[in-house]
Chains A and B, each alone.
Chain A
């Protein structure tokens, strides 16, 4: 346990220093500052570890400890300077703060804490149980702990193709931290790092809502995200992607939500350097899962469509920074590794195809497989409306948006989530994926793939959509606009 606590505290400390030195959100409360410290710290320390590997330095307690200490020393002078933290001119402050009863917001935050505590407890007492985690994320974490690098046979030898050698490994580098602290790999300690992404997610969503929509909607957002069944506790079947399952879906969800909320801060003029933060977090998202890469393009598109001024420069800056982070720390290296069998960009003719690929490529693949689309949309709708996996989430989000006021920031968030989901649907349409497991189950490969992935893919955008819906919805208590305004 010491290894996990030390690792989390180091990440949070580095993240807090980084936040204070570079960003510092005006009006951020304690929960948001803690969430942001974890958000930035997990990404930064994982990236530092990846940077060491990228330049060929073995990842040991000494090398990574020195790199983290150097970064902290670099940030210290900036973090010490106390800058006045006032919202920017375009910021709209919370409007239902006054009427929210303390007992209600307290109860909702307690509910959020229950969800988080259950995820932390589950990760602590359960061994790694997800097949994809065992064969990919935790496998690479174990290799890092023993070999101190991911540049060896695990990434180049066809014998280890099952680990998906081109998958970006940021979460593996973070999960390796307890092994660096304790000096040995322990399945339980490595797995116990994963729920902390969800802790950060709840803090970040709560903070962004508290600043703009007040305490009540922030507390509802925290309870909602903290208790989403597929994030918090559903583990089977099909493979859950929950915070305790040592999968990379909740981390991706965190970085996407963090990036989108930073973009909105930038679009609304809430603070300086928000676009820099968005670019950095999108880079972390791309280092977390392949699905983070298209999000960079979509974020640039969102800036182009939603920004009031300097659109091209801002979009290029956000996308450029994210791509630079990804390319320097992983893309450059991964390009030399064998292609994946799920190589979607290869199928549409953008990159080299995986060895042994059969079937049409490019437009021909799209035309031949387009009839799958209705089946995919139906399966997506069935998954979204599953109470077991999502409670009322995917009914409540559109309902709140319908009764609310959809402003520019909310449009940006929904656009990003929609484009991301659209990319997933497109990938399912064109995929040439097959599996012996599908044959064993007597299922069509695409149907089988959907049972494994649709829930996870929705995890990536769910917190973002929840935050957007709560931002858009009218104040739940207090003053209402109208001809006879209430007191205050």
Chain B
């Protein structure tokens, strides 16, 4: 086999590997789709299904957001995340522009991402790992994350979050 033929074979394999991603998704006989997905190529079809759900639900719906975020960082986006998002939406709808929101019992990563969702409202709080910050007088809203049970999955919250309005 000369080098031209070798190059043609390699190029053909590359192109085939690109196409194989877009073959119809495997029809699972068992619940475990990965058993049939030899090359682990399922993403485009799984993502398209997710995107269809996103379109159906409306962009940025809490359910879609929680599903997608939960798929990427399981240490942050625990099953309670959906409920917390609901409380965040309430704060966004009702808070005044100068209101301060205090997050209690939140992990460091939770503090960071909810600072994004609540921006431009000012968010205060200390990561749970560093010891909780007592409720501050300037806090108009106090969002307290639920406790974590010792026997649950790592970082998983068993109790629902609560929201108090102080002013």
- Chain A positions within 8 Å of B, measured between CB atoms, are 108, 111, 114-115, 118, 121-122, 125-127, 129-131, 134-135, 138-139, 142-143, 146, 162, 187-188, 217, 220, 223-224, 227, 229, 233-237, 239, 387-388, 391-393, 396, 399-400, 403-404, 436-437, 440-441, 473-476, 480
Contact = CB atoms under 8 A, between A and B. Distances in A.
Given A227-B21, A388-B41, A403-B7, A129 B75 contact: no
Given A223-B15, A392-B17, A129 B51 contact: no
7 contacts: A121-B51, A131-B72, A134-B113, A187-B60, A237-B71, A388-B40, A392-B14
A135 B111 CA distance: 10
B39 A131 contact: no
Given A118-B44, A223-B15, A403-B7, 16 more contacts: A108-B15, A122-B47, A126-B54, A127-B65, A129-B71, A134-B112, A134-B116, A227-B18, A233-B43, A233-B44, A239-B73, A388-B43, A391-B18, A404-B3, A436-B129, A476-B8
Nearest to A473: B7
B71 A236 contact: yes
A114 B154 CA distance: 39
Given A125-B55, A135-B113, A403-B3, A236 B15 contact: no
B3 to A, nearest CB: 4
Given A396-B14, A400-B10, A436 B108 contact: yes
B21 A229 contact: yes
B88 to A, nearest CB: 13
Contacts of B50: 126
B119 A142 contact: yes
Contact of A129 (B8, B69, B108): B69
Which range contains the number of B residues in contact with the other chain? 35 or more
Report the 9 A-B pairs with minimum CB-CB distance, sorted nearest first: A388-B40, A403-B3, A391-B17, A129-B68, A227-B18, A473-B7, A403-B6, A236-B72, A135-B112
Given A399-B6, A474-B7, A220 B15 contact: yes
B93 to A, nearest CB: 16
State the majority secondary structure of interface residues on A. Answer: helix
B72 A126 contact: no
B92 to A, nearest CB: 12
Contacts of A118: 44, 47-48
B11 A404 contact: no
A58 to B, nearest CB: 15
Nearest to B71: A236
Contacts of B112: 134-135, 162
A183 to B, nearest CB: 15
Contacts of B47: 118, 122, 233, 235
A146 B122 CA distance: 13
A404 B17 CA distance: 21
A115 B22 CA distance: 10
Contacts of B75: 437, 440-441
Contacts of A236: 71-72
Contacts of B40: 387-388
A480 B4 contact: yes
A111 B18 contact: yes
Nearest to A216: B11
B146 interface: no
A122 B51 contact: yes
B10 A396 contact: yes
B42 to A, nearest CB: 9
A126 B10 contact: no
Nearest to B48: A118
